[in-house]
Structure 1
């Protein structure tokens, strides 16, 4: 016989402890199910309703038109001196994505004038930016051709403010600047661009192509390469490799050499047999007479040199080199046709090249760049001998402050540098030879004023 085993007492007690549903609970549950099903049916019969975005979260921007009133202005306080510039708010927002977003986020501010500040932006940079906003051109005419440092600042401002088309227009202006001046930005400007612009930006690519071309054509390539930081040099090597495997630079980079022809520079440096030799010096005085009488350096019985303005050299023409003669014929346009402003613009460009140009100019102008410090330079009696000191940095400050009334005042200061050097130093001193070399180079370049201005006005083929 089989025995039926009884379940353990604790199991029976557990089963007995489970409450059994009563009728009220079942009815409530059934009613809840019915309500949910009814709600689902109602929801399926009703079209969905879109939730409206919060007020002022999205702004509709109508196309800008000068046919409509635009009474609200933005006052931009530019530079550390907070120079005020006024631009219609609607117009500014139509051009700048930065300010479009800025005023969208501050749409509740109701005022006739809105104040914004650009303390790090030079006034001149913003002025060219404003010119582009209203005219579509970075600079109004070749008489107002900005320098590379200004153009780089304009590019950075256009990138920062998101101004439509300004960066591309600035690169075109830089290419025009290179075509006219025949030089590229100096090393400090290249380094600054790498600090202030994003990797792979259009301005970096343009400057890299110019630097690569300079490295391939200049005799100063070693010195130029050593002056570059590792980051820039690494990208330059890549750019040069790309140039080796491609056709010459595209038209946008320009076809004018990035720097003056190194072979021509070498020829000018060695005119007269020896670098800086006195026979060549007599020749270059006569060669620089294109724009009127050039200063003549004469030697006194004491061995000093003096500079006489308005005289001409008497060196025989047979000793003149063919190169300078060609430059003279190329600048045959009468200087009277050019305005004082054009001539001063040439002087400003020449001075900028002397102070910032890589390689050749850097070596030549070094001793004359800054004011003489008697203690630092080891010439304690300098100011006892020299009563009218002058240097290139002082000339640059005078040019920037528009203190020169014409090119003759600029030339007088330049001649003062040479006169001071010849007055203080002896012929056997290295500074004497340095002054001769600088004077030779300066007079050669200054003699090309008419040709340079003619190129600016488009009178010559390119």
Structure 2
């Protein structure tokens, strides 16, 4: 991925984000923030304190997740804490879920597209499933129309075998997530009813994009 054109930021103001209760400080070019987030653009363009001080407090947000957002803004890549492996998979998938929550909050549609791309890439190389805490987090922090919800459900429909459902731990976990179970049942029924359906992971991830104004890599 090409680095951003440095001339784009000449004479462009810097705004400050104070993140978390400890106020971790992030400085970002205003033009870049405005380009991808209408929420930030509205906050810094109005007559409120954020606009005059060029500073915004985000006490409820996670500095580590905001740092990933900054990396994506400037380089269009998502840096996970560790390389993806069976040992780190739960942590990495939760990091992506938290980043999706941030993208939802600030209406950064192209970042959500990039997260879908990342999950598609992981699904092609990994047999691991998002574990219960990750699924629970996603369902607690997304709406019913969320593409991330849909993708996680499809992952369970197409990427695992029947044995997974027979485990006692699996049954116990599913009882705690009725909304996920309902979505899973519908998706399973659709697959049984139409044998011609193919795994979505063999196709283009753009069908899961919520922002279709452009592709996430543009």
TM-score w.r.t. length of structure 2: 0.74
Task: Say yes or no: does 1:220 pair with 2:164.
Answer: yes
Could you tell me how far 1:117 is from its partner in structure 2? 2.2
Q: In the TM superposition, what whole-angstrom CA distance separates every residue of 1:73-119 from its partner, at most 9, and x where no partner exists?
A: 221122232211100122211111111122232378765x5221222
**Higher Cα Rg: structure 1 or 2?**
1
Q: Which stretch shifts more, 129-138 or 64-73? A: 64-73
Name the counterpart of 2:37: 96
Count of matched residue positions in the alignment of Structure 1 and Structure 2? 189
Unaligned stretches of 5+ residues in structure 2: 86-90, 205-218
Per the TM alignment, residue 71 of structure 1 is displaced from its structure 2 partner at its CA by 4.3
**Using the alignment, how far apart are the partners of 2:74 and 2:118 within structure 1?**
16
Residue of structure 2 in register with 1:174 after alignment? 119
- Any conservation in 2 of the 1:82–1:119 contact (CA below 8 Å)? yes
Alignment of 1:249-398 (within 5 A): 249-251=199-201
Partner in structure 2 of residue 123 of structure 1: 63
CA drift of 1:247 comes to: 1.8
Output one character per residue of 1:135-158: Cα deviation in whole Å (capped at 9) or x when no partner. 122238985897001000111111
Separation in 1, partners of 2:8, 2:131: 46
Q: Deviations over 1:287-334 (max 9, x none)?
A: xxxxxxxxxxxxxxxxxxxxxxxxxxxxxxxxxxxxxxxxxxxxxxxx
Change (3 A) 1:191 1:108: closer
Matches within 5 A, 1:49-68: 66-67=7-8
By how many angstroms is 1:184 displaced?
A: 1.5
Work out the CA distance in 2 between the residues paired with 1:117 and 1:95.
19
Structure 1: runs of 5+ lacking an equivalent: 1-63, 255-462
Matching residue of 2:24: 83
1:210 aligns with 2:155: yes
The structure-2 alpha-carbon separation of the partners of 1:182 and 1:194, relative to structure 1 and needing over 3 Å to count, comes to same
Q: Report SS of the residue matched to 1:227.
A: helix
CA deviations over 1:331-364 (Å, ceiling 9, x no partner): xxxxxxxxxxxxxxxxxxxxxxxxxxxxxxxxxx
From 224, 228, 233, the equivalent of 2:181 is 233
SS in 2 for 1:185: coil
Partner residue in 1 for 2:139: 194
Residue 248 of structure 1, CA deviation? 2.2
* CA RMSD in angstroms, aligned pairs only: 3.0
Normalised by the length of structure 1, the TM-score is 0.37
Equivalent residue, structure 2, for 1:184:
129
- What is the SS of the residue equivalent to 2:163? coil
Higher relative contact order (CA 8 A, sep 6+): 2
